[in-house]
Structure 1
Amino acid sequence: MDKKEYLEESDKIEPHLDRDSNSYEKLQYTFVWLKSRMPELHNDIVKNFQQIEASVYAHRQEQDAKDEQDVNNPRF
């Protein structure tokens, strides 16, 4: 999964995660299950994320800065 696909899919599930009070527990369960039952796949996924990690965080910081600017300078 490349950065673009990850960000698109992540944005789609974010509202669901925000509404679901158990979302952290579900994510943790998924992580534990995958790591314990399919460690090679887990390692591959982690390595893939590490390759895009810096650009994902940079993108998120840009989004946060833009959102903050929009809040501080509303266009009414």
Structure 2
Amino acid sequence: MKLFAPLAAALIAVAGPAYTAYEHGHDHKPLHGGIVAESDPTEYELVAKPDAITLHAREKGKRVSLRGARAKATILSGAEQS
């Protein structure tokens, strides 16, 4: 769980102009137990587990394929980075 908040902050920073559900007047409920951020029109849900980090995307409630997408994550723990 210590890793979850920094990852969510990174997702929000990378997602561009991310908005909270309240600002848009509708609810963005996580479907996979993660944290949701929006970069209109796409909603991203970041799910961090001890053995994997998964990013889900959807537009208008429909799944968006991330096949072929690439990502890089830098995980910071104090002065350590991996």
Larger RCO, structures 1/2 (Cα 8 Å, 6+ apart): 1
TM-score range, shorter-chain basis? under 0.3
TM, length-normalised to structure 1: 0.26
TM, length-normalised to structure 2: 0.25
State which structure, 1 or 2, has the greater radius of gyration over its C-alpha atoms: 1
More helix by proportion, 1 or 2? 1
